Amino acid sequence: MKLRLHFVVDPMGWLCISVVFGIWLYNTFFVPKLVLHPHYDEGHIPWALVVCYYLASALCVMALLRASTADPGRLPVDPHIPHSEREQWELCNKCNLMRPKRSHHCSRCGHCVRRMDHHCPWINNCVGEDNHWLFLQLCFYTQVLSLFTLVLDFCQYYYFQPLTRLDQFTTRHELALLRVSALMGVVMFGGMSSLFYSQMAGVLSVSTLRTLNCCIFLLRYGTKRTWQWALAEVCGTRWKLLWLLPLRSRQPLHAGHHYRSHV
């Protein structure tokens, strides 16, 4: 399945995503320059710590780029509606196109999006059925990178051994740069933790599941769907490792397939 790209022409969205990218770029450049590289060169920290930080940074920016450019679930102009599902479709009073229930019209994007959650200016894109999993990845990896940065900033002050070789730039600006990094880390970690919690609560809530599919699942298996199935439906795969990989495409799952079956 090809990766479908989606770009929104919105100057305010471009500004917001530029701020997010700037914060990522700041911490990816200055934290290794001030903390990781000097202490690694003097043998205070292992190479695995440096690799883990760059890995978290790379996954964070990949999730950002994919969430901001992936098609959120835009409906085609002339959708094919199966006869058995016509009762589940309705007419949008803004674009005059047929859409399935739980779809919403986005005034910023100018079209309807399947299972739209909200339009996020920080990624300049809607969060819908086809990129919700990428938005969850972005929240998760931003938390990881922000917490990693805060721990490194704290260790630079109170735990790491003093450096014996300091350049002029580090001596003059280290304190100010680390304070800015710590401030951004606190803001990003707090904001993304709250957002990630609310998003996960919505995904795992029975009220957010499609009523028809939930009834089919209850009748067929006699039990409610587990949290694994809810996340597998959002991520488009039952393999949990793939839930964490942003460079892949999403395949929709069907409620009629049992969770324990193989892909």
Note whether residue 250 is domain-resident.
no
Same domain, 210 and 226: yes
Same domain, 79 and 30: no
Q: Using the 3D structure, point to which of 63, 94, 113 is the last residue of a domain.
A: 113
Same domain, 47 and 88: no
Same domain, 194 and 148: yes
The pLDDT value recorded for residue 261 is 33
Q: Using the 3D structure, point to which of 58, 90, 113 is the last residue of a domain.
A: 113
**Residues in the chain, overall count:** 263
Note whether residue 15 is domain-resident.
yes
Catalytic residue among 120, 126, 139, 235: 120
* CA dist list (Å): 103 to 15, 26, 151, 169: 27, 37, 41, 53
Structural domains counted in the chain = 2
Note whether residue 253 is domain-resident.
no
Mean pLDDT by 10 residues, the chain (263 residues): 70 91 91 85 87 95 93 81 77 82 85 88 91 94 94 82 67 79 92 91 63 47 65 85 87 53 34
Same domain, 68 and 81: no
The pLDDT value recorded for residue 116 is 87
The pLDDT value recorded for residue 211 is 42
Same domain, 153 and 229: yes
Note whether residue 179 is domain-resident.
yes
Closest C-alpha among 58, 51, 26, 37 to residue 156: 37
Q: For 84, which DSSP code?
A: G
Q: Which two tokens stand for residue 219?
A: 């009748």
The pLDDT value recorded for residue 59 is 95
Same domain, 39 and 81: no
Q: What angle do CA 216, 222, 227 make, to 5 degrees?
A: 80
Same domain, 120 and 213: yes
Which domain does 90 fall in, by range?
74-113
Note whether residue 248 is domain-resident.
no
Note whether residue 258 is domain-resident.
no
Same domain, 52 and 169: yes
Note whether residue 260 is domain-resident.
no
The pLDDT value recorded for residue 186 is 94
Same domain, 104 and 195: no
Same domain, 196 and 85: no
Note whether residue 118 is domain-resident.
yes
Active site residue 120: yes
The pLDDT value recorded for residue 225 is 59
Same domain, 155 and 168: yes
The pLDDT value recorded for residue 254 is 59
The pLDDT value recorded for residue 139 is 95
Closest C-alpha among 128, 151, 110 to residue 67: 128
The pLDDT value recorded for residue 196 is 92
* pTM as predicted: 0.82
d(C-alpha 79, C-alpha 28), whole Å: 43
The pLDDT value recorded for residue 166 is 64
